[in-house]
Amino acid sequence: MKVAIIGIGSMGGLFAWKLVHAGVEVWGVDVSAPHVARIAAGGLQIDFPDRPSEKVPMHAVTDPAAVGLADAVLVFVKGAQTAAAMTAARPMIGPDTLIVTMQNGIGNAAAIQAIYPQARVAHGMTTLAAQVEGPGQVLASSAAKGEVSFYPMAGTPGPVDQALCAALDGEGFHATLDPGIDLRIWKKLVVNCCLNSACALLDCKVGEALGQPATMALFDRLTAEIVALAQAKGIGLTLAEAQAYLRAVGQTAAGHFPSMVADMRAKRRTEIGALNGAIVAEAERLGLKAPANAALRDLVLARQEIAIARG
């Protein structure tokens, strides 16, 4: 099986490591030339908090045309980059290629399907956590233990879906093909809209945000708005379930800096539009209100633009 990974940063790099271990032919595609050059020359280094680092050899390129057709394409770029990245990915995608988005937030799968209306698109999520340490180097900050779930948006999983799931299962990855993936995605959306956004604003680790009564009160308001929206869309997420999931994931990832913190520090634009911003937009479309999510979105956007302007 030949798998291309679009965006071999933190999570893309961690998934590349797992697939290489499973004997899959992996091609990483990324716009960062220094990152790609380091991986192509010496392999991708994965650091772990509880065991020695590993280097895995893999193909790494900046030009998708160098990959050729892939059996599966995993998408890990940020939501704002989806359209451009998927348009550039056309040389890798044939009539039988499976496209799987593991991106944060909502709206990415629909954006991909709009570009490739005839393609087999699956959407998924993971509770794994990782961060880029430097060119060609990724830290598996969750000790490479977590859930991976995905499912095709239309139809029954085919042989490629099943082979990809099998390759991702094991070594701390618990991978499943889950027809209830929408519920999983919305539970993770609660986590990201609370922890990613707040940690980016506060420049702190997950555990530090969870340790503050003020942020926990905010998280309750954010979660209530997201649950109300999910239920309006027919997704059976309850407030108690969402709150429990947020606390469980937060405890597991207490020492982790979410990716949005790294974006802020690097003066990059964040994926706030696919998180709290997407909640606000979808709530407005359905005639609901999400004032807590709107306020957090606006503050993150403001801090992001101030950081970028300062250079």
Tell me what percent of the residues of the chain surpass a pLDDT of 90.
88
CA torsion sign, 202 to 207 to 211 to 215?
positive
**E strand or H helix at 307:** helix 291-310
Mean pLDDT of the chain: 95
Strands 137-139 and 131-134: antiparallel
Q: How confident is the model at residue 145 (pLDDT cuts 50, 70, 90)?
A: confident
Average the pLDDT over 85-105 and give the result: 96
Q: Return the closest-CA partner of residue 191 out of 232, 146, 234, 150.
A: 146
List the beta strands (DSSP E) in the chain: 2-6, 25-29, 44-47, 54-56, 59-61, 72-75, 98-101, 120-126, 131-134, 137-139, 146-152, 173-177
Average the pLDDT over 26-38 and give the result: 97
pLDDT value of residue 144: 55
Look up the pTM and report it.
Answer: 0.92
pLDDT value of residue 142: 67
Average the pLDDT over 18-38 and give the result: 97
Residue 286 DSSP label: T
pLDDT value of residue 137: 96
The answer to whether residue 253 scores a pLDDT higher than 90 is: no
Average the pLDDT over 56-73 and give the result: 97
Q: Mind listing the domains of the chain with CATH numbers?
A: 2-179 (3.40.50.720), 182-310 (1.10.1040.10)
pLDDT value of residue 50: 83
Each residue's pLDDT tens digit, 162-220: 999 999 999 889 999 999 999 999 999 999 999 999 999 999 999 999 999 999 999 99
The answer to whether residue 56 scores a pLDDT higher than 80 is: yes
120 strand-pairing partners? 98
